[in-house]
């Protein structure tokens, strides 16, 4: 099979999420993946994941995790929760804001309800059996890693062979922490001066539910429900 060529990364980052996904897929070309299933972390991870799934000839699904923001800084994730299972908290951040799980319970349940709503919206395909398969979880970037951590925990509960986390860019400390959670982490850019995911994209417009549904419909028209891709480790 000929090696696929992708556009080179711009020196300052990526043109958009699709471009980032193609670059990420190329970086993953050296992994040995057993009957992989690709999950895009909603919302922004889905356009990236679509390019990875296409390159791997793998099924594409959506994984939903919602961040639990600090009361005074809602954009800062002190934790995250999925539709099912316990929340995942950054214990150091929780302590720094003088919080505990009881004080965050209302926010946790609010975000859990939203995760359930989004799961229902994005469930266009039949659930896949993940046992003995590799799961590739893709996000558009790793800032604190809170939502990725919660998603890894949820996917691992389904009993896959292993969970691989992949992102085009991430804060070095978040990537290091997530290596303890996932079986492997692939992150193309780990800039020392990382401040926010959006700074590494020229186009970082918000991904909408409608865009995700369109991607899933387009992808579902051309992909079979179960494929595998042999590859060699480097």
Task: Please give the full DSSP string across 195-230, using - where no structure is assigned.
Answer: --GGGGBS--PPPPHHHHHHHHHHHHHH--S-----
- Type and span of the H or E element at 81: strand 73-82
Q: CA-to-CA distance for 128 and 14, rounded, in angstroms?
A: 31
Q: CA-to-CA distance for 162 and 41, rounded, in angstroms?
A: 17
pLDDT above 50 for 221: no
- Type and span of the H or E element at 52: helix 45-56
Contact between 216 and 122 (Cβ < 8 Å): yes
More confident residue, 184 or 70: 184
pLDDT-derived band at 125, boundaries 50, 70, 90: low
Mean model confidence pLDDT for the chain: 86
| Residues 6+ away with beta carbon under 8 Å from 14 | 20, 23, 168, 169, 200, 201, 202
Residue 149 burial (CB count, 10 A): 25
Handedness of CA 34, 172, 55, 123 (dihedral sign): positive
Q: CA-to-CA distance for 121 and 213, rounded, in angstroms?
A: 8
- What average pLDDT does this structure show over 132-153? 94
Chain-centroid distance of CA 78 in Å reads 18
- What average pLDDT does this structure show over 138-159? 93
Written as six digits, the tokens of 169 are: 């860019």
24-76, pLDDT tens digit by residue?
A: 999 998 899 999 999 999 999 999 999 999 999 999 999 999 989 888 888 78
Q: CA-to-CA distance for 38 and 57, rounded, in angstroms?
A: 10
- What average pLDDT does this structure show over 97-126? 86
Identify the pLDDT of residue 234. 31
pLDDT-derived band at 149, boundaries 50, 70, 90: very high
**Residues shown for the chain:** 234
Contact between 184 and 78 (Cβ < 8 Å): no
Residue 149: left (phi > 0), alpha (psi -120 to 50), or beta?
alpha
Q: Is the peptide bond before 14 cis (omega within 30 degrees of 0)?
A: no
- What average pLDDT does this structure show over 171-191? 96
**17-65+128-222 belongs to which CATH class?**
alpha beta
3-12, pLDDT tens digit by residue?
A: 333 334 444 6
Residue 189's closest CA among 172, 165, 164? 172
- What average pLDDT does this structure show over 176-183? 95
Contact between 174 and 146 (Cβ < 8 Å): no
Rg of the chain over Cα atoms, rounded to whole angstroms, equals 17
């Amino acid at each position: 099979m000929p090696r696929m060529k992708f556009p080179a990364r711009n020196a300052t980052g990526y043109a958009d999420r699709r471009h980032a996904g193609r670059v990420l897929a190329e970086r993953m070309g050296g992994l040995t993946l057993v009957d992989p299933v690709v999950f895009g972390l909603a919302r922004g991870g889905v356009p990236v994941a679509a390019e990875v799934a296409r390159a791997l000839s793998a099924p594409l699904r959506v994984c939903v995790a919602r961040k639990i923001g600090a009361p005074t800084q809602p954009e800062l994730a002190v934790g995250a929760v999925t539709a099912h299972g316990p929340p995942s908290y950054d214990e150091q951040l929780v302590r720094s804001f003088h919080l505990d799980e009881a004080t965050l319970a209302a926010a946790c349940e609010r975000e859990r309800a939203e995760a359930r709503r989004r799961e229902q919206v994005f469930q266009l395909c039949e659930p896949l059996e993940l046992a003995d398969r590799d799961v590739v979880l893709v996000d558009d970037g790793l800032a604190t890693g809170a939502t990725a951590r919660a998603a890894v925990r949820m996917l691992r509960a389904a009993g896959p062979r292993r969970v691989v986390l992949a992102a085009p860019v991430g804060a070095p400390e978040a990537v290091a922490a997530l290596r303890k959670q996932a079986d492997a982490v692939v992150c193309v850019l780990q800039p020392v001066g990382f401040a926010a995911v959006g700074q590494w994209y020229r186009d970082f417009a918000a991904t909408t539910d409608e865009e995700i549904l369109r991607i899933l419909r387009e992808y579902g028209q051309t992909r079979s429900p179960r494929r595998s891709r042999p590859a060699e480790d480097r």
